[in-house]
């Protein structure tokens, strides 16, 4: 019996460290997709075999300059653009575009109780994401410390407003708590039309 218990504990540690981990949502930066105190499962193995893709929800170790509290170092955001992508805001309809294609983000941007939806961005930007880095944003754009916010605060510093791929811990793939809100995460269809950078 002690051997079985020891093996079970070891397997649990291995799975949590390298395969799948539970994360709780501490802030409203990803509303309405994720609410405060929701629980998600994060695949920590997937990016050993692939790169983060546009539209995916990821957990990453945030640069120190992004943190308001040093101990709160793990952020969850949506990947908007990857290395080499030209990301711009905004077009005539106020949309963010990636490699010349405007994103339709209505399916996931935050909507308040009165039915008013966040703008894709309150600020303009026009940049090329460096290779090996990601441009990430929260779905609650008016309440998210993300690439857009860092870009504005840094005066347009592309490196400090993007995160290195190496900082990504894993991909959030399911909302499992509360059970009544159970949801599998998929890449929104709008990203299907975005071409690779030329």
pLDDT score recorded for residue 123? 95
Confidence class of residue 12 from pLDDT cuts 50, 70 and 90? very low
> In order of start, what are the domains of the chain with their CATH numbers?
2-187 (2.10.109.10)
CA 149, chain centre distance (Å): 14
What are 56's two structure tokens? Answer: 């995916």
What are 160's two structure tokens? Answer: 């400090």
pLDDT: which is higher, 10 or 31: 31
pLDDT: which is higher, 2 or 177: 177
For range 107-131, the mean pLDDT: 96
77 in active site: yes
Confidence class of residue 3 from pLDDT cuts 50, 70 and 90? low
CA distance linking residue 189 with residue 193, whole number of Å: 8
CA distance linking residue 135 with residue 40, whole number of Å: 22
User: In this model, does residue 72 exceed pLDDT 90?
Assistant: no
44 in active site: no
Using H for helix, E for strand and C for coil, what is the string for the chain? CHHHHHHHHHHHHHHHHHHEEEEECCCCCCCCCCCCCCEEEEECCHHHCCCCCCCCEEEEECCHHHCCCCCCCEEEEEEEEECCCEEEECCCCCCEEECCEECCCCCCCCECCCCCECCCCCCCEEEECCCCEEEEECCCHHHCCCHHHHHHHCCCCCCCCCEEHHHEEEEEEEEEECHHHCEECCCCHHHHHCCCCC
pLDDT score recorded for residue 129? 98
For range 64-92, the mean pLDDT: 94
- Let me know the angle formed at the C-alpha of 114 by 109 and 120, rounded to the nearest 5 degrees: 25
pLDDT tens digits, 136-161: 999 999 999 999 999 999 999 999 99
pLDDT score recorded for residue 14? 42
For range 96-114, the mean pLDDT: 97
Q: What is the mean pLDDT of the chain?
A: 91
Kindly name the residue from 77, 97, 144, 147 that is annotated as catalytic: 77
């Amino acid at each position: 019996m002690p051997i079985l218990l020891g093996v079970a504990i070891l397997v649990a540690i291995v799975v949590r460290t390298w395969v799948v981990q539970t994360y709780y949502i501490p802030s409203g930066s990803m509303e309405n997709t994720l609410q405060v105190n929701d629980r998600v499962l994060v695949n920590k193995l997937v990016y050993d075999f692939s790169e983060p893709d546009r539209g995916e929800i990821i957990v990453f170790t945030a640069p120190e300059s992004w943190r308001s509290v040093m101990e709160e170092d793990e952020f969850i955001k949506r990947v908007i653009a990857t290395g080499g992508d030209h990301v711009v805001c905004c077009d005539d309809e106020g949309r963010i575009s990636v490699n010349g294609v405007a994103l339709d983000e209505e399916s996931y941007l935050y909507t308040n109780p009165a039915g008013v939806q966040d703008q894709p961005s309150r600020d303009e930007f026009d940049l090329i994401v460096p290779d090996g880095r990601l441009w990430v944003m929260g779905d609650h754009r008016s309440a998210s410390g993300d690439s857009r916010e860092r870009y504005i605060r840094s005066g347009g510093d592309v490196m400090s407003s993007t995160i290195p791929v190496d900082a990504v811990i894993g991909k959030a793939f399911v909302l499992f708590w509360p059970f009544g809100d159970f949801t599998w995460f998929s890449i929104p269809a709008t990203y299907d039309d975005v071409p690779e950078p030329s």
